[in-house]
Structure 1
Amino acid sequence: MKTRKIVLSNRFNGLPKPEDFAIKEEELPDVLKDGEILCQAEWISVDPYMRMRASTLNLGDAMIGMQVARVLKSRCPEYPEGSQVVANFGWVERTIFKPERDHGVETIYKMPEMKGLPDSYALGTVGRPGNTAYFGCLRVCKPKEKDTIVVSAAAGAVGSLVGQIAKIQGCTVLGFAGSDNKVKWLQEKLKFDHAFNYKTANLPDVLAQYASNGVDAYFDNVGGEFTYHVMKHMKPFGRVALCGAISTYNSTDSSKPALVPFDYGSMIYKNITMEGLHVLRWRDEWYTGINQLRDWILEGKIIVEETITEGFQNTPEAFINMLKGENVGKAVVKV
């Protein structure tokens, strides 16, 4: 029995290129060992963090990432044949895995109860990006009614949810994205109070006009100069949730640290808190987050958009396009 996997064939230099990846075939055993399951990928996730994490891989390693997979064969009663899993199997079509050896939301867990929602949502709003937005917004930004919250990369898988969660909490939300079409989507579909194209907007002027009393909380997905300007406009005791730094990921010189402007004066004299967040710190509350997000979708409180790429072999293309900002909402690949 064969499987295909997409491996890293070159180190990234700036934005990843198609030739940085290769498809390899691999033989799998025909007979499972006790406790093992054979899974077939149905949906594969592509996310910004993979750009940074790829530096930890060896050339020839399969690219990392979550997938929704179907159990084709099973010698593990907890995961019967025909059931679905959400698993950190990477960019691989078929995988043999022994759940009892390495079990949990970091590696493999049972498909959530989707209540009729698309399976692909388990890689987005009802999955890791959803919980990143849910816990990052509620536990780090700590929104209160009438707060003003700024969200960067607001049309992405995480940012689009953060803004909607903040709206549910009664906040005024300013979202920034990279195209006029995304700005229109944020305003008309997701009902952000204000949305702007960061490529054409004058950020200090926008913040002075639309957050005239200052910014209470900032959900940061991009880092860099954008974050510097938001920090200067924050209120005393403002909160910054540091989730990502997309603006630094495609640096062409990996030997040098990403140097960005930083407003020490605001941080110190306004007593601003900046807190990094990684979603697995809330692993013990995993289903609390995704079940609430699922229910908000069903109640019409959260709108979900996906950018779907068809075909396993096109996963690198989906990844590159996502890093270029061509996706709206969650980027996924239908295998």
Structure 2
Amino acid sequence: MAGGDEVKEVRNQQVLARDYISAIPVESDMYLNTSSTIKLRVPDDDDCQEAMLLKNLYLSCDPYMRGVKHSDDAASSTLQDRIVFFATDKPIVGYGVSKVVDSKHPEFKAGDLVWGITKWEEYTLIKNTQSFFKINHTDVPLSYYTGILGMPGMTAYAGFYEVCNPKKGEYVYVSSAFGAVGQLVGQFAKLMGCYVVGSAGSQEKVDILKNKFGFDEAFNYKEEADLAAALKRYFPQGIDIYFENVGGKMLDAVLLNMRLHGRIAVCGMISQYNFEQHQGVTNLMHLVYNRVRMEGFFVPDFYHLYPKFLDLVVPYIKQGNITYAEDIVEGLENGPASLVRLFSGRNAGKAVVVVARD
């Protein structure tokens, strides 16, 4: 915007957190603020020399929003751990797809479409653009950049291909397989010629894993009294690759079923996010017995591979080789309900909140 132009000021509706979240989120943990306004220009402040002003289009609801630090009570070593996703009377923070309204950054200009870490509000001033990627492929749904072509897609790609080093014909197990990451890991594995089993929390999701996403088998973990026995039933020869999204009792059961030289990519542990005292894991010696490599990973460490990732996944999407499910709600005011539904397992795909379509 030209410096002499009159700066337009508009309403900036926001979803704020009432306090830090210490349990499973409920809608009353969040509230809608309709009184905030914002000027549609990047300020001339010293800390805004490379800032950009975004109009948020799509917001992502993700499990990690509960899994990382929710109060600023200690120093953290990673970028995402330094982000407070729920802070008292502040907009919720999360990944989203946005349009640049104004920019002082040389790599972003007004009109550009981007994805990265933004806030749950109509407009956001971004002073640190480190986490943002310009969207060049606009012949696929923009909402995909909250999922399959954004952080969850990169997570699936990095964990499966880079951490697990898969080989054709291997036996792959994916927990929380209906999630935004798990559904992609399973399909990547099938495209590579692996045998794939996933677990989910309802029969409906199990049916979708097998009939829509192409998993060889799937089961409802809630109906299995003995998880180790269930895994033995589906993997009589053992598991080569486990994509870990759950932790706790599921991880303990998997450790009893890993094959020699198996690999475990630790993406998350959603079963533990709401415990103040995490559950212990008792079968770790099986890592030694079977020479299993278990490795945690942090997706921003792999963002330099994003162009390579797009070269693989965009053709898969266009050719119909990958199926992707979204659970989309319209309106920022419906964001809290969507987030709560995710943590209760009632989402029907990647949870996305539409703030604006353009």
TM-score (norm 2): 0.86
Q: Counterpart amino acid of 1:94?
A: Y
Per-residue deviation at 1:265? 2.5
CA distance in 2, matches of 1:12, 1:32: 31
2:268 alignment partner, SS class = coil
In the other structure, the counterpart of 1:97 is 126
Per-residue deviation at 1:267? 1.4
In the other structure, the counterpart of 1:315 is 335
Residue 152 of structure 2 corresponds to residue 132 of structure 1 = no
2:12 alignment partner, SS class = strand
CA distance in 2, matches of 1:208, 1:32: 58
In the other structure, the counterpart of 2:307 is 287
Per-residue deviation at 1:288? 1.5
Selected match of 1:244 from 240, 247, 268: 268
In the other structure, the counterpart of 2:254 is 230
In the other structure, the counterpart of 1:207 is 231
For residues 245-276 of structure 1, give each alpha carbon's deviation from its aligned partner in whole angstroms, at most 9, with x where no partner exists.
Answer: 1101122xx3xx30223302311211111100
CA distance in 2, matches of 1:30, 1:170: 50
Distance 1:80 1:236, change over 3 A: same
**What percentage of aligned pairs have identical amino acids?**
35
Residue 326 of structure 2 corresponds to residue 326 of structure 1 = no
| Uncovered stretches (5+) of structure 1, i.e. residues with no partner | none
In the other structure, the counterpart of 2:75 is none
Choose 160-169 or 257-266, whichever is displaced more: 257-266
Matches within 5 A, 1:41-56: 41-53=56-68, 55-56=70-71
Distance 1:31 1:151, change over 3 A: closer
Aligned 8 A contact 1:137 1:219 in 2: yes
CA distance in 2, matches of 1:324, 1:11: 19
In the other structure, the counterpart of 2:114 is 85
Matches within 5 A, 1:153-168: 153-168=176-191
Per-residue deviation at 1:284? 1.2
Aligned 8 A contact 2:264 2:292 in 1: yes
Choose 41-50 or 280-289, whichever is displaced more: 280-289
For residues 220-250 of structure 1, give each alpha carbon's deviation from its aligned partner in whole angstroms, at most 9, with x where no partner exists.
Answer: 1010101110110101111111101110112
Give the total of aligned pairs. 325
Choose 87-96 or 18-27, whichever is displaced more: 18-27
For residues 127-176 of structure 1, give each alpha carbon's deviation from its aligned partner in whole angstroms, at most 9, with x where no partner exists.
Answer: 11001001100111221111101000000100000000011111000100
CA distance in 2, matches of 1:204, 1:75: 55
1:71 alignment partner, SS class = strand
| Uncovered stretches (5+) of structure 2, i.e. residues with no partner | 1-8, 45-49, 72-83
Selected match of 1:278 from 294, 298, 302: 298
Aligned 8 A contact 1:43 1:334 in 2: yes
In the other structure, the counterpart of 2:195 is 172
Aligned 8 A contact 1:126 1:291 in 2: no
Selected match of 1:221 from 233, 239, 245: 245
Per-residue deviation at 1:36? 4.4
In the other structure, the counterpart of 2:42 is 32
TM-score (norm 1): 0.91
Per-residue deviation at 1:76? 4.8
Aligned 8 A contact 1:112 1:122 in 2: no
Distance 1:31 1:233, change over 3 A: closer
Aligned 8 A contact 1:38 1:73 in 2: yes
Matches within 5 A, 1:188-199: 188-199=211-222
